[in-house]
Structure 1
């Protein structure tokens, strides 16, 4: 991390690991999350999108979970405000007193903030529904062959009609042309 004048350089880019989950119209909402993050940041890496059973939530509705990795010069507080606003746009009631215990159209959690050169630390992820997919994403980011997850996967459609979610991938959006490039 570069420090000048006692603070972080304004040009510093951070890496963020973001956990995404949805159990209300989960495929549609996860597609919208990926689309919104791609439109805002222009590039992201993602894990497989997996079907998981609810943990800590009393509901019959299964979840789709995935991990995103982005790089930005935004500080953590700005990213948190942006992800909260995205959750609300998709219908999450963040003011509900039991918001962590009820069904949700979108839940985005920043799980790790990384400085340049720092690798993801999958071993620090406690949530059981993220363990396989964070290891998969970390291997992808390191250029290694990711071990496929044992969980059932869900393909997500991007704005150009291409699909992702059945393995880790990096997605680039050319904002000038609207073209999307995918590297798996």
Structure 2
């Protein structure tokens, strides 16, 4: 039986200087949280916008008891620090250096059977959500999805498979 863990599921993405900015997103999240679980990182073509720049996307689970509003403030601060204009009414349809979306609150292991389509309508995140839920449940990953992309943050390397990242 798994210990109950409460927190939030977040979608992460960027398509401006994606390797540099994705590394910065992770570094800034680690400044706020001691650890989190992350899916593999995928290259995904833009969805719902006209752009030539592919995204790097991942899904993370942050175990925390802070409020959703406090987490949203942290996510917005990371986005603006990396150069996203949160005041632009068309920001969802433009290239972005950072995009952090709270997908849902999550209790592990209770909520791990929730279908990805009930978590978000961003279908390109479904395989990442499914993978992370299996990882959090300590179950084997049986569906094959595209290969993950290696990301470096200092001496930390991740992105090719689901893992837990700890602040050093």
Q: Same fold (TM over 0.5)?
A: yes
Q: In the alignment, which of 72, 75, 98 is matched to residue 83 of structure 1? A: 75
Indicate conservation of the 8 Å contact 1:67/1:137, yes or no. yes
| Corresponding position: 1:166 with 2:160 | yes
Instruction: Give the structure with the higher percent helix.
Output: 2
| Corresponding position: 1:145 with 2:168 | no
Q: CA RMSD in A?
A: 1.6
Alignment gaps of 5+ in structure 1? 1-12, 179-184
Shift of residue 149 of structure 1? 4.6
Q: Classify 1:21/1:149 alpha carbon distance in 2 versus 1 (closer, same or farther; 3 Å).
A: farther
Q: Does 143-152 or 125-134 show the bigger shift?
A: 143-152
Number of residue pairs matched by the alignment: 161
| Corresponding position: 1:127 with 2:122 | yes
Indicate conservation of the 8 Å contact 2:36/2:60, yes or no. yes
Structure-2 residue corresponding to 1:10:
none
Whole-Å separation in 2 of the counterparts to 1:111 and 1:172? 22
Shift of residue 118 of structure 1? 2.9
Shift of residue 96 of structure 1? 1.1
Structure-1 residue corresponding to 2:51:
59
Structure-1 residue corresponding to 2:29:
37
Residue-by-residue CA offset, 1:81-134 (whole Å, 9 max, x unaligned) = 110011000110011121010000000000010246532422413212101111
Shift of residue 156 of structure 1? 0.9
Q: Which has the higher contact order (CA 8 A, sep 6+)?
A: 2
Q: Classify 1:149/1:98 alpha carbon distance in 2 versus 1 (closer, same or farther; 3 Å).
A: farther
Length-normalised TM-score, structure 1: 0.82
1:14-33 matches, within 5 Å, as 14-33=6-25
Indicate conservation of the 8 Å contact 1:52/1:151, yes or no. no
* Structure number with larger C-alpha Rg: 1
Length-normalised TM-score, structure 2: 0.89
